[in-house]
Structure 1
């Protein structure tokens, strides 16, 4: 059962997705197949994933005062997410992401941040109570870095554990890294943080060590179809992925992070929580879309034949 509340602070977008045979090269026009719109944004994806898996979720984001923003709020409420702290920007549109997915389930994404880029520390002055009530605070990097740093500072002062999914990839100050309980980069993001090209378990270990030396308590590098590498204290653990027929990897990392947060909120140890997250992500990649791909708790039990 849930022991801690989870606060997710991050972005909310509307994803516009086209399935195509391959990802276009520069200057290339290709004819795609299926088009659909889906609620997305890394923050929203992670909040929805965690809620569907049984988490008690409060989500803070900023949308535009437009149809996309209003639809997003309605969807969050339908998922059982606490929307009391959502903000609306009267000047900027809601965020939008343009996504192409190829036949190998790989994707390329361009994001127009819109209102997400205006979520500032000043917006969060009245959120100390909800930060104080959270056992876990989960964030990403589709909102301003100064806002991420502000929330991290408030969270650790309140005794919460901060998880950062450092996506999209960028350099991060050591002052922020030292506040993190867990960081969850993928291979590209780990390379950005360390200048180590992560291509296998050995290079992942090198990168994880460098990140940990910057002050992060625990490091989890996600490795796609190779699972995840966990570094806690001086111990490495390779959590293997589950073999599935992937059709779209768009929100796999978001589902992983949402599930990881739920596992930790239920007092699972870090390895067990990572195993749970790998199971959730394995189901997500078998489906198209971002939030639409996030599994429910009973689906994990059914697919993997256990009660977690």
Structure 2
């Protein structure tokens, strides 16, 4: 099996449960705050490792208790974190997460040490990347480092996945060395706008088909209750969402990406099968609370639910209970 390399963010998540998410100017009462390891990069690396992948991570944390806890969790997942830099000048990144009674969330991120990640850190973290490996990237670190990492990995024959989240403000050069984009229905619309297609009619189903020739990479779009979509053999393909009782959607999208990457790093790069595996893992994740701690291990999936089956997209689907993450 090939190696999954992840270059990305590491945060400590401050989680607060609320009855309903606050509106602008509104104060709501919440639960006592709890702290847990997170960050899109860290979550995706842990998901790939718990899926059975061999994972190497490059990132940065502060020289503080939160940073040490994150490194412990990475070690417990058997992730090679030898290229995670410990900053003596910046605190570990922090995400403040409010989760309501329906499992929906609002997130504010303070990047902290993530902003201090350097080009040298990226080069060191990708020194061992080779043909057949998979690189996973997100946009919680400086975009110039995302472009550098993609370019380096692609030049050595690796398969590059970009989870374009948070949604970018510009895409100049960002996608040049990306093989697969993973986005939700809001992010795919932002990409369409940035590509000059703001007036294009249709929703994420249409954009999954029309954007790849414009942007370059193939696209997987996750769409909450609708499931996930991509194009296979020239036709729109749909993996339905599994039906679960969602408690907390935090980290579910990262679980999807990590399991997808680990599946694609296997002996067969079957995108359809990888999407099914990713859907099942994220379905189980949303039945739990938290980010990293909600990510399932591969051996938990067989007993969880039958595989959803990819099928040609129905233009008028019924909506199952939400699962495939936004």
TM (norm. structure 1) is: 0.93
Q: Which residue of 1 aligns with 2:203?
A: 203
Change (3 A) 1:250 1:61: same
Q: 2:127 matched to 1:129?
A: yes
Deviation at 1:122, TM superposition (A): 2.9
1:243 is the counterpart of 2:240: no
Partner of 1:294: 295
- In 2, the alpha carbon distance for the partners of 1:216 and 1:262 equals 23
In structure 2, do the counterparts of structure 1 residues 172 and 216 end up closer, same or farther at CA, with 3 Å as the change threshold? farther
Note the aligned Cα RMSD (angstroms).
Answer: 1.9
From 107, 110, 114, the equivalent of 1:109 is 107
Given the alignment, which residue of 159, 166, 184 partners 1:168? 166
Q: Mean Cα displacement is larger for which, 122-131 or 241-250?
A: 122-131
The aligned runs of 1:1-308 (5 Å cut-off) are: 3-33=1-31, 35-132=33-130, 135-195=133-193, 203-232=203-232, 234-266=234-266, 267-304=268-305
- CA distance in 2 between counterparts of 1:39 and 1:52 reads 15
Shift in Å, 1:91: 1.0
- Deviation of residue 254 (structure 1)? 0.1
Preserved contact between residue 218 and residue 232 of structure 1 (Cα < 8 Å): no
Contact 1:212 1:219 in 2 (8 A): yes
Separation of aligned partners in 1, 2:126 and 2:24: 46
Q: Tell me, yes or no, if the aligned pair for 1:263 and 1:276 is still in contact at 8 Å.
A: yes
The separation in 1 between residues aligned to 2:4 and 2:301, in whole angstroms, is: 20
Instruction: Compute the displacement of 1:128 (Å).
Output: 4.2
Q: How many corresponding residue pairs? A: 301
**Counterpart contact for 1:219–1:232, Cα < 8 Å:** no
C-alpha separation in 2, matches of 1:233 and 1:178: 22
Report how far residue 187 of structure 1 moved.
1.1
Q: 1:183 to 1:172 in 2, by over 3 A?
A: farther
Distance 1:282 1:113 in 2: 28
More displaced stretch, 71-80 vs 131-140: 131-140
Matched-pair contact (CA < 8 Å) for 1:97–1:112: yes
- Cα deviation code 1:143-166 (max 9, x no counterpart): 000000000000100000000001
State the match for 2:322 in structure 1. none
> Moved runs in structure 1, 4+ residues, more than 4 A?
none
SS at match of 1:85: strand
SS at match of 1:111: strand
d(CA) in 1 for partners of 2:144 and 2:282?
29
Note closer, same or farther for the CA distance 1:94–1:219 as it changes in structure 2 (3 Å cut).
same
Aligned to 2:311: none
Shift of 1:76: 0.7
Q: Is the 8 A contact 1:174 1:214 kept in 2?
A: no
Take 1:107 and 1:121, find their aligned partners in 2: how far apart are those partners? 33
Q: List alignment gaps of at least 5 residues for structure 1.
A: none
Question: How high is the TM-score relative to the length of structure 2?
Answer: 0.88
- Specify every segment of 5 or more residues in structure 2 that has no aligned partner in the other structure, as ranges: 308-326
Task: State the shift of 1:268 in Å.
Answer: 4.6
1:123-144 CA distance string (max 9 Å, x none): 2233442233761000100000
Deviation at 1:90, TM superposition (A): 1.5
Deviation larger for 110-119 or 121-130 = 121-130
Partners in 1 of 2:83 and 2:279 — Cα distance? Answer: 30
Question: 2:319: which partner in 1?
Answer: none
Q: Distance in 2 between matches of 1:33 and 1:178?
A: 44
